[in-house]
Structure 1
């Protein structure tokens, strides 16, 4: 059974389902750790390389590399921590509009 379109009152509507991905636990965002950013780790690498009498650029490069790998790992974890939820909506073939099934048909 199709719903009538709330915009043009046509019965030529189609039920569509589209997956939406929402985070399972939004408070566990691991990307928000500024201490593990590539810039912070580059600065740490520079200070460590200076204390070891190594060129500071070497410490900066190692810090940026470690920070970049950390960002890639935490980004993959954030993408895996999403769950698909199917959202239903209708599409009207007459007026080319889509609408939620929760919209009540009202007379204008």
Structure 2
């Protein structure tokens, strides 16, 4: 005889259900760094810096593109691992008599 009872019909005919929930892992810091160090972003930065230093803007743009291209080559050489989702199992109970499910917190 099971000590667990259904809170709806008080039956002892209970089954345990474990359902996996996939929680995505977040890796926003690497994607933000990649977008900040892209050749286009560094070219725009180079243009604005060269204007303040009274250097032709094309020189700043070229320097930014070259630095951004080198950065992208260095970052692309690092091994890229796929982020694995975090799996959490949620436990529920199912009453075989009244066909209702309930959480462990609801049990009597």
Task: State TM-score, norm by structure 2.
Answer: 0.44
Q: TM-score, normalised by structure 1?
A: 0.44
Report which of the two structures shows the higher radius of gyration computed on alpha carbons.
2
